[in-house]
Amino acid sequence: MKSTTVRRTALTAAVVTALAGVAACGSQDSGKAGGGAGGSAAHASPVDALRSVEKSTDRARSARISSTMTMGSLMTVTTDGVMSWGDGLRGDVTMKYTGGSLAAQMRRAGTSSVEARYLPDACYMKVSDAFARANGGRHWVRYAYADATGASGAARLLSQDQARNNTPNESVRLLLASHDVKKAGEEKVGGVLATHYSGTVDVAGLARGNGSLGAGQVAELKKRLDAAGITKETVDVWIDGRGRLVRKTESADSANGRMVTTATYRDYGVRADTAAPAAGDTKDLKDVLRSGGIPSGGASAGQASGGVAATS
């Protein structure tokens, strides 16, 4: 593969998988409440407990996120940062590509991690100085969710509908949509006693519904799973005594291989002041690809000679 093709592929893949990484994020409360699962979540029915979690998460509006997602042999990516969902999706995160073919492409492009900003209409990825020089001195690449309209496969992860699902409530809604959610016990997570709930989501069964979610919510979940080539997904969540998630895991066979996500939140309600980079320092991804604004020359691991800038 020619070096320019590698960098073009790595840049596009980085944008796509950045959204995928956030989409897969779960939660961890800071544990300030002390105690543990002895609150109402521990004694309510699974469905009632999860509905309570959905409401408390909506009220929190933001959290600090850490997650690890593996998708077959394609990639392993970790995500750390702050995200808010009270007024559309917003946040600042760092994605680190640690394994799989995508990580190898990223290393050949001169980086293994990227800085991303998320706003309700688009995501922004910081690029290297060499990449900026090839694009009029602009240091940020913008990908508008609207540009993914009608796309298929991984690009669907950049759609506006997918962005709306990138909240900690996604896993809770998946469990509410399942027909076999159950309490699986209590255990400590990060030193906090938490109640564990588990269930399997069958995409075919989503259409039947179970009264826990509205028709629109079920349709969005089904659309997201169909786009990823998932027919069944196992979801586990751990809820602390304040009715907030401390951990979640998801696993499924997808179009890109076995997908496993483990994620945590902490610091619910943390301030998230994400702003778009200056317009004069930004270029749309579609314009970059159209104009061929990919730096020429070789790239090796540890050199930010092209693609997205390393932040580690």
How far apart are the C-alpha atoms of 189 and 12, rounded to whole Å?
36
How far apart are the C-alpha atoms of 173 and 148, rounded to whole Å?
24
| Helix boundaries (H) for 159-230 | 160-164, 169-177, 203-206, 215-227
CB atoms within 10 A of CB 213: 19
How far apart are the C-alpha atoms of 189 and 299, rounded to whole Å?
42
How far apart are the C-alpha atoms of 62 and 50, rounded to whole Å?
18
Q: CB–CB of 62/86 below 8 Å?
A: yes
- Token pair of 3, please? 């070096």
- Residue 208: the pLDDT is 59
pLDDT digits (tens, 9 = 90+) for 77-109: 898 999 888 877 888 999 898 999 888 887 777
- Residue 7: the pLDDT is 55
Taking Cα atoms as reference points, which of 54, 119, 124 lies closest to residue 84? Answer: 119
pLDDT digits (tens, 9 = 90+) for 182-200: 999 999 988 889 999 999 8
pTM: 0.75
Q: What is the largest CA-CA distance in the chain?
A: 62
- Residue 184: the pLDDT is 94
- Residue 57: the pLDDT is 85
Q: What is the phi/psi pair of residue 115, to 5°?
A: -100, 130
pLDDT digits (tens, 9 = 90+) for 157-169: 445 444 454 567 7
- Residue 3: the pLDDT is 52
- Intervals of the chain under pLDDT 50: 1, 24-41, 152-154, 156-158, 160-163, 165, 297-312
